[in-house]
Structure 1
Amino acid sequence: MSDTTSDLIGEAVYQNRSFSFASLSDRVFARLFRGLVYPQIWEDPVCDMTALGLGREDHVVCIASGGCNMMSYLTARPASVTAVDLSPWHVELNRLKLEAAQRLPDHASFYALFGNADQAENVALLDRYVLPYLNSQARAFWNGRERFRRRKSMFARGFYRFGVLGTFLGAVHLVARIGGVDFTRLLSARTLEDQRAFFEDEIKPLYRSRLVRFAARRRASLFGLGIPPAQYDKLAADADGEIVKVLEERTRKLFCDFPIGENYFAWQAANRAYKEDGTGPVPPYLEKQNFEALRAATGRATVLNRSITDVLAEAPAASKSVYVLLDAQDWMTDDQLAALWREITRTAMPGARVLFRTGGGPDILPGRVPAELLDQWTYDAPASERAFAEDRSAIYGGVHLYRRKG
């Protein structure tokens, strides 16, 4: 990783500048973020696209992360999508997905690579159809080694089991096995009542165990969910320090509020993979009926290894209509928030929309973003509440939507 990228990640994460246990946590998290964090992004693109009313006239700026949402937005064929991320791993993964959608011969091969993500022939698919069309830096990245094996081989060995999130879910499954949990009962559930019974019988008791309660109260234990120390602290503060209750409720929502046959986030949590035959729930970009629309739209996307504030600072005024910030603002200081919203407001078209998530429930912007900026926007409470209720990932405390006045 370049020194510039390391500095950008550090600037985004470090909120404790002097040395302390808090600053050490910041630095450990920043170090993790230099590699692959999210093989799958954990924000629901379907509820996002509905709340935003995403359409063909839109010019989108979003956080790239693992690429599932950026690719899914393309199925709506917006005019342009600019995806940014501080992690070089995420940037290369997004660019690989775009090239693969354009070059692979059919949906079956695309699904083998990014749906199954564990087929022996996937390395050959990459070598024949995708890697030759990437630039030399990207080819070197995927042909390079990670723990003595070539990075591209991860797609033949269960890609969703890698990265910080994949490792975290592996640890969750280990704890579940120790506790006697059998996830096949959840995956074969026929009704929401069956799912709720599974949660009450098998998952809820885990949250009463000393091991889970001890681990949940340590900041580093949630690094695997991509929750930095500052966000953990806000989450705990919103829950009056009862972090275990927050995690239990969000797990309940994940496993109980949506039919298992429609929630690919629950599938990944319980199975660490999508359904092998492709008949289970998947992100929109992996659905067969969306493949041709996705392929046609790949040329409209740009992926950049930069901060979203810096990218917007170079964009023309009134040139963007949709901003998807994920939970990035939870990481930010007041000065960073003000700088971001100054550029969002400057580049926003009339009627532009901004969607973001928060670890806690409340909107974090009032009182932190200068009033002269925030007063140019309207908070859409009904749409925010609907998006939060419909977000199948269930990991966040709130989904928030702002609309540009005028």
Structure 2
Amino acid sequence: MADISSTLTGRRKRHINDAVFQNAAASKAGLSERLFALLFSGLVYPQIWEDPEIDMQALGLRSGHRVVTIASGGCNILAYLTRSPATIDAVDLNAHHIALNRLKLAAFRTLPAQADVFRFFGETGNRHNTQAYDRFIAPGLDAQTQRYWTRRDWRGRRRIAAFEGNFYRTGLLGAFISTGHLVARMHGVDPRDVMKSETLSDQRRFFDAKLRPLFDRPLVRWMTSKKASLFGLGIPPAQYDALITDGDGTMASVLRQRLEKLCCHFPLRDNYFAWQAFARHYPSSGEAALPLYLEPRHYRTIRDNAGRVSIHHRNLVDLLASKPAASLDRYVLLDAQDWMGDAQLNALWAQIDRTAAPGARVIFRTAARASLLPGRVSPELLDGWHYEDDLSRDFSARDRSAIYGGFHLYVRKER
């Protein structure tokens, strides 16, 4: 068993390397890629940073659909279950994301009530969560995932103890947001103060007076000019290069634009992504919008449908290759294609095209505004798909997470 486990781990590591490495190891770019791969081997996203409500609208997701998605932090998968799809196959190359997804699904299956789920994933600073894990969740987990959450760090604390404090401050994303708050406070600005806003106009005034000027500070411009500074967003070096095409050629301007959308385009009461970015926690139940999976009205549906999800620690192309032709209806690629070279993109779309049922839909996000497929994926493959240009722009504008440049929807043409 140890030999098999070691072989599988090696394969998954190679998949991550294949997704990231595009330059020689000894080159400056190659060293940057290898640093990113090292950091990405840990927990990256304690929560997903794509808006699953926009996903479901674009997908037209409904009962009976067979879905394939990248797992990430798992908030998307649980949201999709509110529409009762027939199956969800969720893949991820990151073992930490796999363990987090299995934990969330097990919590819905085993915790006694919705309030317990909310206490575990929606609140911070609850020391009863580890007791709830030991009593209810752990017995419903496979042995490998149990070992993951009970592994002890150098202080002797089990991983699951992260849910006694603020789990959303962990991982690369959590560290990135914490660093952003620290840098802002060094310049006399507390980003949490935006939460005092009562209207969109208040939010705009705070951004223009406090946050916008930060991006002209020498320290901020220097920090954001380094590709490694954005590794905390899960942005590999290749994606960094695509991002700066959307601004004035500097990452500071791109980040300013994205933060402006997050801060100013949606009322705080409607945007839990802004709560995580600025307040560093989700709102209390009834205080403002919550992720769909934490809303009481969806608890029973998610609990009943949790068994429809299969979590796979493997490469997406490999999973698709194992599926029969015309067997899938909906594909959610997140921003994974930004990482890919042309050969990888064509391999992926060959499998999507083969496994797509009539009327299938594919959604994904990109760092830059434009779809990256034209000119890179073979015309023979793309000719079978219609790009919904106007709808894609509309969905992109309404994506509350505000982090990506473009949202894209492709629909299978009738044949």
Contact 2:246 2:254 in 1 (8 A): no
In structure 2, what is the equivalent of residue 43 of structure 1? Answer: 50
C-alpha deviation, 1:18, in angstroms: 4.0
Separation of aligned partners in 1, 2:248 and 2:352? 33
- For 2:142, the aligned partner's letter is N
In structure 2, what is the equivalent of residue 17 of structure 1? Answer: 24
Separation of aligned partners in 1, 2:117 and 2:28? 44
C-alpha deviation, 1:189, in angstroms: 1.3
C-alpha deviation, 1:4, in angstroms: 2.1
C-alpha deviation, 1:331, in angstroms: 0.2
SS at match of 1:75: helix
In structure 2, what is the equivalent of residue 235 of structure 1? Answer: 243
Change (3 A) 1:147 1:231: farther
Say whether residues 1:33 and 2:40 are aligned partners: yes
In structure 2, what is the equivalent of residue 203 of structure 1? Answer: 211
C-alpha deviation, 1:280, in angstroms: 2.6
Separation of aligned partners in 2, 1:161 and 1:185? 18
In structure 2, what is the equivalent of residue 111 of structure 1? Answer: 118
SS at match of 1:353: strand
Contact 1:118 1:154 in 2 (8 A): no
Length, aligned pairs only: 406
The gaps in structure 1 that reach 5 residues or longer are none
C-alpha deviation, 1:235, in angstroms: 1.2
SS at match of 1:279: coil
In structure 2, what is the equivalent of residue 76 of structure 1? Answer: 83
C-alpha deviation, 1:147, in angstroms: 4.2
**Matches of residues 95-134 of structure 1 in structure 2 within 5 Å?**
95-134=102-141
Contact 2:78 2:302 in 1 (8 A): yes
> Which deviates the most, 221-230 or 277-286?
277-286
Aligned-residue RMSD, C-alpha: 1.2
Separation of aligned partners in 2, 1:238 and 1:174? 26
SS at match of 1:145: coil
Say whether residues 1:178 and 2:186 are aligned partners: yes
In structure 1, what is the equivalent of residue 3 of structure 2? Answer: none
In structure 2, what is the equivalent of residue 56 of structure 1? Answer: 63
Say whether residues 1:382 and 2:376 are aligned partners: no
In structure 1, what is the equivalent of residue 333 of structure 2? Answer: 325
In structure 2, what is the equivalent of residue 150 of structure 1? Answer: 158
C-alpha deviation, 1:184, in angstroms: 4.1
C-alpha deviation, 1:185, in angstroms: 3.2
Say whether residues 1:405 and 2:380 are aligned partners: no
The gaps in structure 2 that reach 5 residues or longer are 1-5
SS at match of 1:50: helix
Contact 1:9 1:86 in 2 (8 A): yes
Separation of aligned partners in 1, 2:286 and 2:319? 37
Contact 1:186 1:260 in 2 (8 A): no
Contact 2:269 2:287 in 1 (8 A): no
In structure 2, what is the equivalent of residue 87 of structure 1? Answer: 94
SS at match of 2:57: helix
What whole-Å deviation, never above 9, does each CA across 1:242-292 have from its counterpart, x for those lacking one?
221111111000000000011111110001111245633221111111111
C-alpha deviation, 1:33, in angstroms: 1.1
Correspondence for 1:359 among 360, 367, 371? 367
What whole-Å deviation, never above 9, does each CA across 1:114-153 have from its counterpart, x for those lacking one?
1114310000000000001211111111110234321100
C-alpha deviation, 1:47, in angstroms: 0.8
Separation of aligned partners in 2, 1:184 and 1:131? 35
Separation of aligned partners in 1, 2:398 and 2:246? 22
- For 2:126, the aligned partner's letter is Q
Task: Return the TM-score normalized by structure 2.
Answer: 0.96
Separation of aligned partners in 1, 2:370 and 2:153? 40
Contact 2:25 2:31 in 1 (8 A): no
> Which deviates the most, 269-278 or 6-15?
269-278
C-alpha deviation, 1:35, in angstroms: 1.0
- For 1:311, the aligned partner's letter is L
> Which deviates the most, 121-130 or 147-156?
147-156
- For 2:256, the aligned partner's letter is E
Correspondence for 1:396 among 393, 399, 404? 404
Separation of aligned partners in 2, 1:50 and 1:268? 23
Change (3 A) 1:77 1:277: closer
Separation of aligned partners in 2, 1:147 and 1:110? 29
Task: Return the TM-score normalized by structure 1.
Answer: 0.98
Separation of aligned partners in 1, 2:24 and 2:351? 26
Contact 1:325 1:356 in 2 (8 A): yes
What whole-Å deviation, never above 9, does each CA across 1:156-196 have from its counterpart, x for those lacking one?
12100100001111101101111222334321211110000
Say whether residues 1:335 and 2:354 are aligned partners: no
Change (3 A) 1:23 1:370: same
